[in-house]
Amino acid sequence: MTDVGASPRTRNAAATRAAILGAARARFSREAYDSVGVRDVASDAGVDPALISRYFGSKEDLFVEVCNTGDPSDLFDVERDQFGAHVAHMMLHEPQDSEKLDCFLIMLRSSASPKASEAIRVMGRDRFYDRLDAYIGGDSARVCARIVGAIIMGLSISRALVADFDLDEAQLTDMERRLADIIQRCID
Amino acid sequence: MTDVGASPRTRNAAATRAAILGAARARFSREAYDSVGVRDVASDAGVDPALISRYFGSKEDLFVEVCNTGDPSDLFDVERDQFGAHVAHMMLHEPQDSEKLDCFLIMLRSSASPKASEAIRVMGRDRFYDRLDAYIGGDSARVCARIVGAIIMGLSISRALVADFDLDEAQLTDMERRLADIIQRCID
DNA sequence: GCTAGAAGTCACCGCCTGTTGACATGGGCT
DNA sequence: AGCCCATGTCAACAGGCGGTGACTTCTAGC
């Protein structure tokens, strides 16, 4: 998505690497691993496809790198007693292409692709569930984290499948209230 | 998965079609649309790959057919006051390769594949959400159906990602109890 | 200003994919 | 029994894929 003029690309390895990584993150948060081609990513980044192999080794390595640099910490950036409301609002009202949701979207988009599932498993554990466990705390932390995680994943996939859940504004408000309640109950 | 002897396949168009459809359903419930090759499906069905094009037109048409013949009615085969417990038990204890879960698995596996997403959207609406709306009933049916649907989807994806949610038996029991409560509250 | 190496470009490889059409053959019908 | 169409087999195609290596070009450091 940088300049695409006839002039050759300015030489800056770090910026090029970052551009590829960013374009890859955006693509992988919208489509499944197998649906995304290296030529797509390169085109988005305004870069020659060969550079992907050069900088990251392979498409699979690039995907792992995307997973390893994902950061869902926005999720936990709130007081405990507002967690339910925070998550519910984020899942329903955050723009669908927001970077805040990238982590979850990437996980669910490619979870069914054998080549990507291992990296996803690791990302889910290290970058999401472990932190959610710690955030929730207490005896049932793991169980509650699994439930909250499932709800977040499910909301992401449902919303991605049909725009805004196919609900009107009033229904969305109702849904947000109910979800906030459900999630808050999980962590109390 | 039928006989693979040197003897040529017995000639039975209906059985062959059904074998392809069954193999495709199983494959699509385990992997994403783009990860599944027609040669994989044909091999599972013990059939020549060319027959897939012959009987269904294309891989995409085959996928649509799989979606159109899916049936999640096991979900609704229970009294209202047991719905939460029923769903929770099914999601946690039904074998992961059970046909009862095929519908949800197929939806989430391929929701990120552009070529498959339209068929998935239709299946989700006609075969799942509409029926869930009707089952729940009342003013907030649609909202509640979206929440229950999201939970089911999220549980499916989480469970598929890490075997049995990476929980021990006691934690699974705890999780089932909590989920049953959450879901039952949604429809009451 | 020159040089050496980093950065970017390009052409191409082998592989795999979905799909097709020509061909072989079994089995129901007369 | 014998025909003939439905059924199954096979080989091949075109296109797209990820990946590679040789080449050009820019630029930092002396």
Provide the residue-wise pLDDT of chain B in tens; the chain has 188 residues: 333 344 566 789 999 999 999 999 999 999 999 999 999 999 999 999 999 999 999 999 999 999 999 999 999 999 999 999 999 999 999 998 899 999 999 999 999 999 999 999 999 999 999 999 999 999 999 999 999 999 999 999 999 888 889 999 999 999 999 999 999 999 98
**What are the CB-based long-range contacts (under 8 Å, 24+) for B16-21?**
B16/B45, B16/B47, B16/B51, B16/B55, B17/B55, B19/B45, B19/B46, B19/B47, B20/B45, B20/B47, B20/B51, B20/B52, B20/B55, B20/B56, B20/B62, B21/B62, B21/B65, B21/B66, B21/B69
| Predicted confidence (pLDDT) per residue in A63-78, tens digit | 999 999 999 999 999 9
Distance A148 CA to D17 C1' (A): 38
Q: pTM for this structure?
A: 0.92
**In chain A, which among 78-97 make CB contacts under 8 A with chain B?**
none
pLDDT at A4: 37
Residue-wise pLDDT for A122-169, tens only, equals 999 999 999 999 999 999 999 999 999 999 999 999 998 888 899 999
> Minimal Cα–Cα distance from A59 to chain B, Å?
15
Give nearest nucleotide to B55 (CA–C1'): D7
Residue pairs spanning A and B at CB distance below 8 A: 147
Mean pLDDT along residues A91-114: 93
Residues 40-59 of A with CB under 8 A from B: none
